[in-house]
Amino acid sequence: MSALLEVSGVSKAFGGVRAVDDASLSVEEGSITALIGPNGAGKSTLFNCISGFLRPDRGQIALAGRRIERLPPHAIVHAGLARTFQTARALTRLTVLDNVRLAAPSHPGECLRNLIARRGAVRRREAQVTEEAFRLLRLVRLEDYADALAGTLSGGQRKLLDLARILIASPRLILLDEPMAGVNPALREELLAHVLDLRATRGITFLVIEHDLAFVMRASDHVFVMAEGRVLTEGTPEEVRRDERVIDAYLGTDV
């Protein structure tokens, strides 16, 4: 495997506090890589830098060899990287199906001129998008909620909706920010199964922030550990679990 994502020497400060301090990591194509560490370690800030929601103060970020650290979020999505957030984001007054449809790229109806001059192309694309959106809802077992308002979904169901919504953009790499937080045990198993299946069947690469160590140990191929803005260590899940520095900084003595 080769590295799909390369993060090199990234730093980000807020005032005089360095949330991310010279952090480097790489994510192999086709892998599930976990990023763990205590609260305040800088994990979400690093995710925001990678996905374009924050611009790093210094350092480089490359996706498939292309520098992306100065691109806006929508351009990074077009480059093949998509993400979720700790709290699932949904347009609560739109239907579940419309939430997925709106995330589809390259819609000719986005241009006013096309609505007049290319009505046939717009209708065909709308039909394709609707079919693909419903297929993705079926994939995450939300097809029965397609016509329901997204605001009626539970927190766990909204995380499944988030997954369907980013899949319609056909990403190569997905950043998952605490996918298991606030999710009941049954849906946790379902989310884990979806991640493993998407890697196996579609070759999608994942970088995951997660405090659920059972998920990390079962799903990930490689683990990076952050503490105080820096990457403390890396290795296989078992290597990281037994690293004394990680036990002291994060895991505790009972693992």
Q: Which residue has the tokens 């606030």?
A: 182
145 is in which domain, residue-wise? 91-152
Ranges of residues in the chain with a pLDDT under 50 are 108-109, 111-112, 115, 117, 253-255
State whether 186 and 144 are in the same domain: no
- Residue whose structure tokens are 């001129």: 113
Residue 88, pLDDT score = 85
Exposure class string for 75-95: b at 16+ Cβ within 10 A, else e = ebbebbbbbbbeebebeeeeb
**Are 129 and 147 contained in the same domain?**
yes
**Which pLDDT score, from 0 to 100, does residue 163 have?**
92
- The span from the CA of 134 to the CA of 101, in Å, is 9
Do 200 and 244 sit in the same domain of this protein?
A: yes
How many domains is the chain built from? 2
Nearest-angstrom CA–CA distance, 69 and 31 = 22
pLDDT tens for each residue of 198-240: 999 999 999 999 988 888 989 999 999 999 999 999 999 999 8
pLDDT at residue 118, rounded to an integer: 59
Whether 67 and 106 share a structural domain: no
Per-residue pLDDT at 250: 66
pLDDT at 255: 39
Please give the mean pLDDT across all residues of the chain.
89
Q: Are 162 and 87 in contact (CB under 8 A)?
A: no
